[in-house]
Chain A
Amino acid sequence: MSIDLATPLPNVLPDDAPFRLIGDTGKAVPPKQRKGFELPSIETLSLIYRKMVVARRWDTQVTALTRQGRLSTYPSARGQEASELGTVIAMRPTDWLFPTYRDSIAVLTRGVPTAEILTSFRGDWHCGWDPHEYSTAPQVTPLATQLLHAVGLATAAKLKGDPIAAVTFIGDGATSEGDSHEAFNFAGVWQAPTVFVIQNNQFAISVPYSKQTRARMLADRAVGYGIPGFHVDGNDAAAVYAVVSSALERARSGGGPTMIECLTYRTEPHTNSDDPSRYRNSKEVDAWRAKDPIERLERYLLSEGALTDADRESINAEAEEGARAMRDALNKDPVLDPLELFDHVYFAERPALKEQREALASELASRGSAGRTGGGE
């Protein structure tokens, strides 16, 4: 690919303090401290607020159903709603998202139906939706591998002249994986229209940030790849939205990739099978719960007179409806076809797989099962 060496390289490290547009107390920071970013409109912030409330209700319900055994596992994103949805709401439907297993609420906000998101956590297939339909890749588990897919897709779009960008989430732990380095570097060299959103939630299962890196912050890495880097308060939805929006705009107009570190906190266990009491103290968790991203935005909207009782009612109704739809979806037993095991391994037909398929079919027939089973059996 032709490389434009005339592109000026950023040479400024991010500030120590994460960038904010709305402070802890719900007050907008003075225009002078906004570093050229604009506070998103009330309409945008109201939408983000609405979607965060809906997402948290959904996340809470999924966690509850996981405890009841309806799902085999669920990694919650509670407390990270501003990073997740500030990012996703800044995207266009044609931009691509490459999420991880923790980013279910981002996938939900992209418009993927509940039942299709929970397919993998329930255990009936590894991915439940058509990625092309929602421009949303499957949630990955092998950490940092998806960053390279995002860079590749973004590069393909650039080669075709399509004005889209690829956004990918990665956690602090996964920035220790070699693929993250390769992805940041490829994106820089190829000027791929990619936005890397690092959600630094400070824990990789049990291992704290300090055991992943000596670096002051992860966003410092950007300068080493010759790409812009931002250190953002990940619990400030307004700041996340503003910085991601400008990165997307830059990406779509040929300005290359951006690395954005959203500093946040995983207030929940890693998954339902984790025990955080073994590795962190509850005072720290409580301190971060007090910095709740939804409450912060709510205070701002209230102070602006932009959140009425009628709004709250409508938002809560939408949230309850989302939770109800999800409960309904999960209360139906999945329809499993054991013979589908063989159907998608290859695009081209394989005689040897057909043999194995037929063998399973006759095994099932000899047991007196027609082959289709409900999940409850």
Chain B
Amino acid sequence: MAKNSAAAADSATVTMASALNRAMREALSEDSSVVIFGEDVGPLGGVFRITDGLTRDFGENRVWDSPLAESGIIGTAIGMAMYGMRPIVEMQFDAFSYPAFEQVVSHVAKMHNRTRGAVRLPMVIRIPTSGGIGGVEHHSDSSEAYWTHTPGLTVVTPSNPADAYSMLLEAIRSDDPVIFLEPKSRYWMKEKSEGNLEPLPMNRARVVREGTDVTLIAYGPTVSVALETAELGTHEGLSVEVIDLRSLSPFDDETVGASVRKTHRAAVIHEAAQFGGYGAEVAARVTEREFYHLAAPILRITGADTPFPAPLLEKFYLPNPERILDSLSTWQWED
């Protein structure tokens, strides 16, 4: 089993799905307290096959199918973590995590604080998230703001295989509970350019493309959209910097601040609806800290304030490079 995170995912053929699988294999091998359970995660390997082969290779006492009940999955994981296990649980789809909302916000997030640190809950809640796969209703939500608004939760989301591998391992080893959002539209993408990413701690943002005119702040599924936008922008003479936040809570003020101080303009890109969304926090936070470096208000280029649409309509809802460039052009660019 590969021990070096960069080496493990350093291949053009590695998908995010296989990188996640490899991280869990490694965790199961190195720590007997790691267990995995959830709906269909056993012999089937999960509906996205992320846990493929794990029951076969580690046995039913390490990786098993639970009854179909999300609150039950999170609630029992809490008890296991109280007894020294490191459970990794899967919510089958973003919107299917809602039955577990109470367990997450009332217990996962609060147990450490409630007990003055006496009880730690080292657990990872994996949630395949967001749209772009033509999913029917309830299969494409971006629910990050519910989690990031809850003190006590650590919320991270990788955008590429190398990060998926290193961040999931770090999340499993963390003594804090982690909400691990997996952008399902990226599960099967093979991305050559990211094979040699430098390993970075889970709580740090990464500048994935340098530029001088504007900073696009993206995460999860919108990082590749932002990169496409940057490429397209060069034809219009626009030099676009792209930041992959990676960690939504905590927020990496330092990396984002440095970028904004350089470009003086920033836009946040996410799939979730705009009103009360994560982008509002980013815009407010960066404005409070970097106001005198900003030449224009921070834009939010996001999904519409509608429920996530039916599959044939999602392309009109999701932010795309053309829409992002159009939005950037609304800024007054001359001083």
Contacts and interface: CB of A to CB of B under 8 A. Distances in A.
Contacts of B35: 159
Contacts of B66: 186
Given A149-B82, A152-B78, A159-B61, A127 B115 contact: yes
Interface stretch (A76-84, A175-183, A317-325): A175-183
B176 A346 contact: yes
A207 interface: no
A141 to B, nearest CB: 8
B60 A1 contact: yes
B60 A151 contact: no
B207 interface: no
Contacts of B81: 152
B96 to A, nearest CB: 14
Contacts of A159: 35, 61, 85
B79 A155 contact: yes
Interface in A15-72: none
Given A183-B75, A345-B113, A348-B176, A142 B154 contact: no
B84 A156 contact: yes
Contacts of B75: 145, 147-149, 151-152, 179, 182-183
B118 A132 contact: yes
B251 interface: yes
A342 to B, nearest CB: 10
B187 to A, nearest CB: 27
B103 interface: yes
A92 to B, nearest CB: 16
Give chain B's interface residue range (CB within 8 Å of chain A): 35 or more
A145 B79 contact: no
B113 A148 contact: no
A153 interface: yes
A157 B81 CA distance: 11
Contacts of B251: 352
Contacts of A274: none
Contact of A153 (B74, B83, B120): B83
B69 A156 contact: no
A126 B85 CA distance: 24
Contacts of B255: none
A275 interface: no
Nearest to A349: B250
Given A2-B60, A185-B67, A345-B151, A126 B114 contact: yes
Contacts of B176: 346-348
B85 A182 contact: no
Contacts of A137: 82
Interface string B115-143: 11111100000000000000000000000
Contacts of A90: none
B233 interface: no
Nearest to B113: A344
Contacts of A156: 79-80, 82-85
B76 A152 contact: yes
B79 A142 contact: no
B103 to A, nearest CB: 6
B112 A138 contact: no
A236 B142 CA distance: 53
Given A150-B79, A153-B83, A142 B102 contact: yes
B175 A152 contact: no
B329 to A, nearest CB: 33
A1 B64 contact: yes
- Output the residue of B60, B117, B253 with the most chain A CB within 10 A: B117
Given A157-B83, A186-B67, A344-B113, A131 B118 contact: yes
A345 B152 contact: yes
Nearest to B117: A344
A311 interface: no
B72 interface: yes
B106 interface: yes
Q: Which of A133, A154, A156, A351 has the most CB atoms of chain B within a 10 A radius of its CB? A: A156
20 contacts: A1-B37, A1-B61, A2-B61, A130-B118, A142-B106, A145-B107, A147-B75, A148-B79, A151-B75, A152-B77, A154-B79, A156-B83, A159-B85, A179-B102, A340-B116, A346-B112, A346-B154, A346-B176, A347-B117, A348-B174
Nearest 6 CB-CB pairs, A to B?
A152-B79, A148-B75, A152-B76, A182-B72, A153-B79, A156-B83
Given A1-B61, A142-B102, A147-B75, 5 more contacts: A151-B76, A179-B75, A347-B112, A347-B120, A351-B250
